[in-house]
Amino acid sequence: MTVASALLGFSIVAALMTLIPGVDTALILRSAIARGRGEALLAALGICTGVFVWGVAAAAGASAILAASSLAYQVLAYAGAAYLVFLGGQMIHRSLRGKQLATIRVPVPHSRYRTYLTGLVTNVLNPKIGVFYIAAIPQFTPAGTNALLMGMGLSAVHVALTLVWAVALVYGVRIAGRWLGSAKSVSWMDRITGTVLIGFGLKVALSSP
């Protein structure tokens, strides 16, 4: 695996994860509807900051483990592969059950500073993002590559994709709101993302020595 192929592979997973409706999407949509495009973009910047913070923190941890023991890093890689398979299976199971997402309620701040801070805190206090990065970094770090620098690169890709998605939401708020509220569209996104995550997890588990 080269750095370019690793970044491309991660971008596919990150893009699918970004498209899945969640608290971040709800915050951007609500800010756009209640406060306008500027407020929604500030919320998106806060969200991206939180994503990058988690990515760098997870990359630093993975880099430390790699420096301490290659065996420990390999164990982390297998654990990450197992988590990706579990996460993908959970998404597919949810979509097959036809479980609709409950309405997500998030506060709409009254100042631009609070709008940014809400997006930041929402992500920094979400451990699922950190777990995702801890699982993903070993899978997308080519042999001989610095795990910390690679993790920062992966985080930058995720941030860029999140910003693109946020802009699309802000400028297509009505269409996006209707589409994301459809149980059918959510189910299909879960199935596609789940399949991709399982595929990556199995590939790593079967190809690792």
Domain that holds residue 87: 3-207
Q: Which of 59, 85, 65 is nearest to 157 (CA)?
A: 59
Confirm if 195 and 85 have CB atoms less than 8 A apart: no
- Rounded-to-10 torsion of CA 57, 17, 124, 52: 50
pLDDT band at 160 (very low <50, low <70, confident <90, very high): very high
pTM beyond 0.75, yes or no: no
Within 8 A by CB and 6+ apart from 8, the residues are none
Specify whether the CB–CB gap between 28 and 197 falls below 8 A: no
Whether the pLDDT of residue 105 is over 50: the answer is: no
pLDDT category at 147 given cuts 50, 70, 90 is confident
- For residues 141 and 116, what is the distance between their CA atoms, to the nearest angstrom? 31
Confidence check: pLDDT of 93 > 70: yes
Nearest to 27 by CA among 45, 40, 14: 40
pLDDT top residue among 16 and 157: 157
The total number of structural domains in the chain stands at 1
Whether 122 shows a pLDDT value over 90: the answer reads no
| DSSP code of residue 143 | T
- Residue length of the chain: 209
Nearest to 128 by CA among 165, 88, 87: 87
Of the listed ranges 79-88, 94-103, 121-130, 190-199, the least confidently predicted one is: 94-103
Q: What is the pLDDT of residue 185?
A: 61
User: Pick the residue with more confidence: 15 or 85?
Assistant: 15
Three-state SS at 62: helix
Sign of CA dihedral 150, 155, 160, 165: positive
Residue 17, Cβ density class (10 Å: 0-12 exposed, 13-18 middle, ≥19 buried): buried
Q: Measured in whole angstroms, how far is the alpha carbon of residue 123 from the centre of its chain? A: 10
**Which residue type is seen at 51?**
V
